Structure 1
Amino acid sequence: MSAEPAQDLLIGVDVGTYSSKGVLTTLDGQIVAQHVVPHGISVPRHGHVEQDADAVWWADVVTILLELLREPGTAERVAGVACSAIGPTLLPLNAGGRPLRPGILYGVDTRAQAQIDALNAELGEAAILAHSDMALTSQATGPKIRWLREQEPEVWAQARTLTSAGSYLVFRLTGEHVIDHHTGAHFMPLYDPRTRTWTDRFAASVLGDRGLEVLPRLAWSDERAGQVTAAAAAETGLRPGTPVAVGTVDALAEGLSVGAARPGDLMVMYGSSTFFILTQERPTPDPRVWSVGGAFAGQVNLAAGMSTTGSLTRWIVDEFAREQDTAAAYDELFTQAAALPPGADGLLMLPYFSGERTPVNDPRARGVVAGLTLSHTRAHLFRAALEGVGFGIRHNLDALRDLGADVRRVVAVGGGTKGGTWLQIVSDITGQVQELPRVTVGASYGDAFLAGLAAGALTRDDLDRWVQPGPPVTPDAATRAEYDRLYGLYRALYPATREIVHAL
């Protein structure tokens, strides 16, 4: 009789805005295999940003798992699996757990501004801030739930569960409706950060006559949500009964992937948008940012996010270098941008091409390019975009410090860290040292760690073994005076153009 195979592997899968990625690791974090599946977003009208839950989210997960488990005997060795995804999103499900419409994305989707205004008027902005530890913005899911109730009554009538992207993946794997506290906090004002429970205090203004039973069960990211069902195993190749972690949003998983999990650690994620997560010992509520639960029981995160960063550089490549291979165009533009002086020869950009989240919190904000002349090239535009994002990152760091948050260490992660040019520009603008771990696989690597915790194969102390530091990016003091001057102009540009942009 042959012995059972050792369960010495872990799987993490992350569904991002423009691609999904999976990783197969050993219990000590060594990468065995990876797989990436690209996808797109749907913008049916301005301000509405959506994705199909089955055709994109679940289909990507299935494709990735089948690829990672391709070698015979691999599934039997997997100790646990965890998923993360874009969030917070809103996905209504019918009584059978099937999606009733495409998922409504996180803060880049700005459709619910009228509902934000209505909730603020009905409940009071001060009352909402005191209750939720943050103000209503386009990142909040509660106003989007109200939008769904008001604008799509036929969908609302059939909805029996209101979930998010990562929670839907957990449901497809386990049959369990469960959501992590980090994501749940964004379902404000339905979440009470003091009791860590759903609350009906303001529920009528969001859910109408529905009760809190339409919301998934709350749990911490490293807890076990359930186990892989026979039906999910048949689709994915996973072993039935494999433990599945609760998981979380992509940004929090990305923070874990680079070891940003202790108080004072700030993760800056350079993706299609830029996201910030600061691990704290106690909350510091402020309407400019988001105060949410962390990955582990009792943890608090201060989160912030810019709407259009990597997607802005992609827009420039798509529109101004469409005749080139995308990868080659990026290489050329980064090289050319690195050769230009700070300030891109008099060009300044507000990167608010999809509105802006923190600390501006203006869904009606738009991109502004100031100082254009006939001598400027696409490389100047690209450099101005990199610097515009850098100024936006400095704006967010200033906001965190203004409210008394303790930032002790900055760890960078994400696709925008490749090559170093963008990181150097940001360090020069902010004056901030940025740490860059040797292995920067992304959120899926953090998911694999969560899978190990949920399966009982790892402890939190093992994170130090998984994450090895690389060389830091240090600011160039020679650029400081010029960037300080330009930052002042950047901060003045938004209020100077806001009313014109809103009118447009």
Structure 2
Amino acid sequence: MRCTLGVDVGTSSTKGVLVADDGTIVASATRAHDVVRPRSGWVEMDADVWWDEFVSIAQELVSAMPDAEIAAVGVSGMGPCVLLADADDRPVRPAILYGVDTRSGAQIARMNDELGLDEITRIGGSALTSQAAGAKIAWVADEEPDAYAAAVRLFMPASWLARRLTGAYVLDHQSASQTTPLYDIENERWYEPWWQRYASSIEQPRLTWAGEIAGEVTAAAADVTGIPAGTPVITGTIDAWTEAVSVGAHEASDLMLMYGTTMFMVFTDAVATGEETLRTPSMWTTAGAFPGTRNLAGGLSTSGALTAWLKDLTDADYPQLLAEAEASGPGARGLLMLPYFAGERTPIQDPDARGVVAGLTLQHTRGDLYRAALEATALGVRHNVETMRAAGADIRRIVAVGGGTQGRLWMQVVSDVTGLVQEVPATTIGASYGAAFLAASAIAADGEAPVITDWNPIAETINPDPDLADFYDTLFDRYVRLYEASKDVVHELAAQQRD
């Protein structure tokens, strides 16, 4: 049986799938891991975890399906991350993760002063935020000069796997467009003046598109993984974009909504020659996964991480909490939560935001708190969607993906709060499946490329309850006002947490 292998390195786990030519998942494997938080606002991971878990998953899947012919390998991973490695590809420090790591505030302020906010946005598409990988490279240069002096190459999880498998030093355009301010989004290339200013000692990765073949599995990689030498490996990209591929949400006017440890949204805009790329300072403008596309993207810093925190705190399991949250009902019996427990990314771009629970009484229960957490993430999604639309995004279709889609209540709350219809595909395993699809597409003969809607048709539609529209309009207004009313005190507390 001919298959493609897809592996995605996520924030809390690495997932792998073997997928047959018709899109059927014939085997899967998962390895759980944790991030490291050495200081408030720092989120890191040892890159050895990425490779070790890839090897373990590949070995398991190959052993589970010994008759499978692995025709190509797809790779994917969280991002944008900053992994700097020396000339022998040894990491010089742990990888700095995406926008949940907020350490680069001083570098962002300096770059804004030196380059100008308008010019940064014009060249790179986005304002500098905690998501900007270029600012994190500058942080290493400023704060860990010995590590930076040893650094020669820049990787993210997908490109690190491609390097270890093939020896190719590549980065896809989508990931590169999040190394702000080092990438020129309109011309789809590294922006040489700013690369030389802020990353001059780092060799520039060769830029390719996510689904292009980076190289072939080497003999050394074949020995440890069990994947045959010579197997093509794609370049891959950041997991949210691979998730969008996995459900077909990469056409113009599609919005992918990813339910995971964090929540992520990707709106796809096809850009014709001479057409203006959508920009707004509070969101991220990026290159798409495919040539000729741009994305307006946003992300919540906590979603599944918040519900997991409540589960651990209350020593209850998810079925209990979901049943109690459903019984609590809309509005959580008068509770309103801000989900900013790890700062917030879009649209407020406030790394010093913190979680707030308003309206608590002695009568409230853990089910009320869990309901308030679900509604908080839904209100955060609505805030992002309304910001995208204000920037000109013509959102016509919402496709949901990710582990959180297994919980019907969460999706229903999001639809009710946002007023959005969500389409849920048959397979929601996410980025590993999208990586396998990209790999199958990369090796397909002309006219024989797989079609994602054949692989993964829509299986369910979640409709908002129109009777709740006015209620949630009022709650959303309170949500926005609560942040503005509490942020000064919260910022003082965040400063105290850093001391």
TM-score, length-normalised on structure 1?
A: 0.95
Alignment deviations for residues 67-88 of structure 1 (CA, whole Å, 9 cap, x no partner): 110047446x111001101100
Matched, 1:345 2:339: no
Which of 330, 352, 355 aligns to 1:364? It is 352
**Deviation (angstroms), 1:290:** 1.0
Match for residue 303 of structure 2?
A: 309
Q: CA 1:487–1:177 in 2, change beyond 3 Å: closer, same or farther?
A: same
CA contact (8 A) 1:244 1:455 kept: no
Match for residue 407 of structure 1?
A: 395
The DSSP-based 3-state class of the residue aligned with 1:188 is: coil
Which of 72, 77, 81 aligns to 1:80? It is 72
CA contact (8 A) 2:405 2:428 kept: no
Which of 163, 167, 170 aligns to 2:159? It is 167
The DSSP-based 3-state class of the residue aligned with 1:201 is: helix
The DSSP-based 3-state class of the residue aligned with 1:333 is: helix
**Deviation (angstroms), 1:353:** 0.6
Matched, 1:63 2:56: yes
Separation in 2, partners of 1:376, 1:59 = 45
Q: Which amino acid aligns with 1:489?
A: R
Which of 20, 24, 28 aligns to 1:34? It is 28
**Deviation (angstroms), 1:460:** 5.4
The DSSP-based 3-state class of the residue aligned with 2:265 is: strand
The RMSD of aligned alpha carbons is 1.3
Percent same amino acid at aligned positions?
49
CA contact (8 A) 2:131 2:178 kept: yes
**Deviation (angstroms), 1:201:** 2.3
Q: Which amino acid aligns with 2:414?
A: V
**Deviation (angstroms), 1:215:** 2.5
Q: Which amino acid aligns with 2:286?
A: V
**Deviation (angstroms), 1:459:** 5.5
Separation in 1, partners of 2:65, 2:256 = 37
Match for residue 392 of structure 1?
A: 380
Which of 230, 235, 243 aligns to 1:241? It is 230
Separation in 2, partners of 1:390, 1:419 = 14
CA contact (8 A) 1:119 1:205 kept: no
CA contact (8 A) 2:27 2:64 kept: no
**Deviation (angstroms), 1:465:** 1.2
**Deviation (angstroms), 1:456:** 2.8
Q: Which amino acid aligns with 1:399?
A: T
Alignment deviations for residues 354-407 of structure 1 (CA, whole Å, 9 cap, x no partner): 110010001111111111111111111111000000100000000010011111
Match for residue 15 of structure 2?
A: 21
**Deviation (angstroms), 1:64:** 0.6
Q: CA 1:470–1:233 in 2, change beyond 3 Å: closer, same or farther?
A: same
CA contact (8 A) 1:163 1:215 kept: no
Q: Which amino acid aligns with 1:64?
A: I
The DSSP-based 3-state class of the residue aligned with 2:375 is: helix
Which of 183, 190, 198 aligns to 2:182? It is 190
Q: Which moved more, 1:66-75 or 1:103-112?
A: 66-75
Gapped regions of structure 2 (runs ≥ 5):
272-276, 494-499
Gapped regions of structure 1 (runs ≥ 5):
1-5
CA contact (8 A) 1:252 1:277 kept: yes
**Deviation (angstroms), 1:121:** 1.1
CA contact (8 A) 1:181 1:220 kept: yes
TM-score, length-normalised on structure 2?
A: 0.95
Q: Which amino acid aligns with 1:385?
A: A
Match for residue 3 of structure 1?
A: none
Match for residue 286 of structure 1?
A: 280
Q: CA 1:441–1:307 in 2, change beyond 3 Å: closer, same or farther?
A: same
The DSSP-based 3-state class of the residue aligned with 2:187 is: coil
Which of 3, 11, 19 aligns to 2:5? It is 11
Which of 46, 53, 72 aligns to 2:40? It is 46
Separation in 2, partners of 1:200, 1:355 = 32
Match for residue 421 of structure 1?
A: 409
Q: How does 1:108-257 map to 2 (within 5 A)?
A: 108-207=100-199, 210-211=200-201, 214-257=203-246
Matched, 1:468 2:478: no
Match for residue 259 of structure 1?
A: 248
Match for residue 336 of structure 1?
A: 324
CA contact (8 A) 2:217 2:229 kept: yes
Q: CA 1:459–1:331 in 2, change beyond 3 Å: closer, same or farther?
A: farther
Separation in 2, partners of 1:448, 1:19 = 17
Separation in 2, partners of 1:37, 1:72 = 18
CA contact (8 A) 2:324 2:367 kept: yes
**Deviation (angstroms), 1:110:** 0.3
**Deviation (angstroms), 1:440:** 1.3
Separation in 1, partners of 2:230, 2:216 = 5
Alignment deviations for residues 389-438 of structure 1 (CA, whole Å, 9 cap, x no partner): 01000000000100111111000111111130000001000110000011
The DSSP-based 3-state class of the residue aligned with 2:328 is: coil
Q: CA 1:67–1:353 in 2, change beyond 3 Å: closer, same or farther?
A: same
CA contact (8 A) 1:223 1:453 kept: no
Which of 348, 354, 370 aligns to 2:342? It is 354
Separation in 1, partners of 2:4, 2:477 = 47
Alignment deviations for residues 439-487 of structure 1 (CA, whole Å, 9 cap, x no partner): 2121111010011122236855622211211120000111111111111
Q: Which amino acid aligns with 2:249?
A: A
**Which stretches of structure 1, 4 residues or more, deviate above 6 A after TM superposition?**
none
CA contact (8 A) 1:347 1:380 kept: yes
Match for residue 496 of structure 2?
A: none
Match for residue 483 of structure 1?
A: 472
Separation in 1, partners of 2:4, 2:329 = 46
Which of 419, 437, 450 aligns to 2:438? It is 450
Match for residue 319 of structure 1?
A: 313
CA contact (8 A) 2:249 2:256 kept: yes
Separation in 1, partners of 2:442, 2:144 = 38
CA contact (8 A) 1:410 1:434 kept: yes
Alignment deviations for residues 186-219 of structure 1 (CA, whole Å, 9 cap, x no partner): 1111101121111122234422xx25x5231110
